[in-house]
C-alpha cells in the first residue's frame, strides 16, 4: 500500500494530489527566497517514483501543454506509485530568459549542483535534494528545440560503474516517448555534467526529450506510454511504426553538411529522410545571378536530423545534420 509522501513540508496521502514550493532562503540580494513550485500525485498502489521537470532552460517550454494534458487529468486514486512535477528554474521561467544575471553559464552543466557553490549550483541542488536524491526511480527532464521532437539518453559505460540495467531502462523510456528518433549518447559531455547525466551517475534512469513547437501531442503520448509501461496507470502504448536510434557525438562537425561558398539554400531532402553517402541534399545558388554555385552531398549514410532552412548562408555555414544510424526499431 502507498504511504504519505512529504516534500518540503507538503504532504500528499495515498490517493491524493497536493502542491507546494521548495524555499531556499538567503540566495537573492533583496532577501527573497528562491522558490521551486511542485506537485505531488501519490497513488494508492505500490509503484515507482517518477520525477518530471520542464523549463530548466526557460525558453524550452513547448512540451508544457503535453505535460498539462497528462497531469491535469491524472487521478491519484487510479495511480500506482508517485509522480512529482516541478518548474525548477523559476528565475528564468518568469521572463523566458536563458541567462539572467544570476546564471553565468548553462545551468544544465553543473550536474546535481552544490549546496555550498554558486547561486546557480545551489538552485540545482534544491531540485536534486528535494525531488531526486533518495526519492526518484526515474527522471524525465523535458527541454525543447525546433524543428522536430527527439530524445537524448545515455549508453552503458558513459557513467563508469553503473549497472547496464540503468542504460537499458533509459533507452526504453526514450523510445516510449514516441518520437521518430532518439539520440544515444556514447561519450561523455564536454563542459560539465548535465542534470540527466548526474541522475545516471547515481543509478537513476533518465532521459531528456527535446520537444519541438509542434511536439505537445508527442509529449502527452510519451508520458502516458512511460507510465503505462511502468504499470503506474492503465492504458495502451502507442508508438510510431519505425524509430531510429542515432549516434550523439560532441563533434558537431562530424554530423554537419556545410557550404563552401556563400549564397542561398534550397534543401533537397526533409528531416527524417534516410540518405546514402553521395546523395544530393541541397544546392546553393547566387541571389545575384541565380546561378547554382554548389551542390551539397551527403558525407555519410545516415538520418537527416536537422535542416537550417533560413536560406541566406555564408561560406562555411552548417546547413543540416546527418547522424549515423545505430539501429532501426520496428514496432508491431
List pLDDT tens digits, range 67-84.
Answer: 999 999 999 999 999 999
The answer to whether 210 touches 177, Cβ cutoff 8 Å, is no
Q: Which CATH class is domain 257-323?
A: mainly beta
Listed ranges 88-92, 249-253, 261-265; the one with the highest mean pLDDT:
261-265
Which residues lie closer than 8 Å to 69 by C-beta, 6 or more apart? 216, 220
pLDDT of residue 171: 98
Q: Assign 193 a pLDDT band (cuts: 50, 70, 90).
A: confident
Q: What is the DSSP letter of 142?
A: E
283-308 pLDDT, tens per residue?
999 999 999 999 999 999 999 999 99
174-185: average pLDDT: 98
Q: CA 16, 231, 224, 240: dihedral to nearest 10 degrees? A: 180
Q: At what angle do helices 216-229 and 164-176 cross, to 10 degrees?
A: 130
Q: Where are the beta strands (DSSP E) in the chain?
A: 5-7, 10-12, 16-24, 34-42, 45-54, 80-86, 138-144, 150-154, 181-185, 206-211, 242-248, 256-258, 263-267, 274-275, 280-285, 292-297, 302-307, 312-313, 318-323, 325-330
CA distances from 125 to 89, 108, 196, 292 (A): 12, 12, 13, 54
pLDDT at position 192 over 80: no
pLDDT of residue 251: 87
* Other residues' Cβ atoms within 10 Å of the Cβ of residue 19: 13
Residue with cell 509522501: 5
CA distances from 182 to 90, 154, 228, 246 (A): 28, 11, 20, 6
Domain 5-240 coded CATH 3.40.190.10? no
The answer to whether 10 touches 20, Cβ cutoff 8 Å, is yes
CA–CA distance, 6 with 43 (Å, rounded to integer): 13
pLDDT of residue 1: 56
The answer to whether 169 touches 203, Cβ cutoff 8 Å, is no
CA distances from 325 to 38, 212, 237, 243 (A): 38, 21, 24, 11
pLDDT at position 252 over 90: no
Which residues lie closer than 8 Å to 21 by C-beta, 6 or more apart? 8, 10, 35, 36, 37, 38
Query: Which pTM does this prediction carry?
Result: 0.96
Report domain extents, the chain: 5-240, 257-323
pLDDT of residue 72: 97
Residues β-bridged to residue 39: 19, 85
Amino acid at each position: 500500500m502507498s504511504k504519505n509522501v512529504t516534500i518540503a513540508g507538503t504532504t500528499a496521502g495515498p490517493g491524493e494530489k497536493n502542491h507546494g514550493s521548495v524555499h531556499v532562503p538567503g540566495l537573492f540580494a533583496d532577501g527573497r527566497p528562491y522558490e521551486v513550485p511542485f506537485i505531488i500525485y501519490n497513488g494508492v498502489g505500490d509503484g515507482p517514483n517518477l520525477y518530471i521537470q520542464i523549463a530548466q532552460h526557460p525558453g524550452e517550454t513547448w512540451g508544457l501543454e503535453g505535460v498539462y494534458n497528462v497531469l491535469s487529468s491524472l487521478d491519484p486514486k487510479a495511480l500506482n506509485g508517485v509522480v512529482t512535477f516541478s518548474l525548477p528554474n523559476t528565475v528564468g521561467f518568469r521572463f523566458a530568459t536563458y541567462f539572467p544575471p544570476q546564471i553565468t553559464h548553462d545551468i544544465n552543466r553543473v550536474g546535481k549542483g552544490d549546496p555550498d557553490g554558486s547561486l546557480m549550483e545551489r538552485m540545482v541542488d534544491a531540485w536534486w535534494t528535494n525531488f531526486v536524491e533518495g526519492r526518484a526511480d526515474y527522471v524525465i527532464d523535458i527541454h525543447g528545440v525546433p524543428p522536430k521532437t527527439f530524445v537524448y539518453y545515455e549508453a552503458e559505460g558513459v557513467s563508469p560503474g553503473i549497472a547496464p540495467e540503468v542504460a537499458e531502462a533509459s533507452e526504453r523510456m526514450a523510445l516510449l516517448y514516441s518520437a521518430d528518433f532518439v539520440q544515444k549518447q556514447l561519450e561523455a559531455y564536454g563542459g560539465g555534467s548535465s542534470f540527466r547525466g548526474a541522475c545516471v551517475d547515481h543509478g537513476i534512469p533518465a532521459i531528456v526529450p527535446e520537444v519541438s513547437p509542434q511536439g505537445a501531442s508527442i509529449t502527452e503520448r510519451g508520458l502516458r506510454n512511460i507510465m503505462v509501461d511502468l504499470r503506474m496507470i492503465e492504458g495502451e502504448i502507442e508508438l510510431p511504426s519505425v524509430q531510429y536510434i542515432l549516434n550523439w557525438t560532441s563533434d558537431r562537425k562530424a554530423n554537419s553538411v556545410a557550404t563552401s561558398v556563400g549564397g542561398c539554400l534550397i534543401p533537397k531532402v526533409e528531416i527524417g529522410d534516410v540518405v546514402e553517402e553521395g546523395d544530393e541534399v541541397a544546392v546553393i545558388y547566387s541571389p545575384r545571378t541565380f546561378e547554382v554555385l554548389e551542390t551539397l552531398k551527403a558525407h555519410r549514410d545516415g538520418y537527416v536530423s536537422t535542416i537550417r532552412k533560413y536560406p541566406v548562408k555564408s561560406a562555411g555555414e552548417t546547413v543540416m545534420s546527418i547522424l549515423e544510424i545505430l539501429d532501426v526499431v520496428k514496432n508491431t
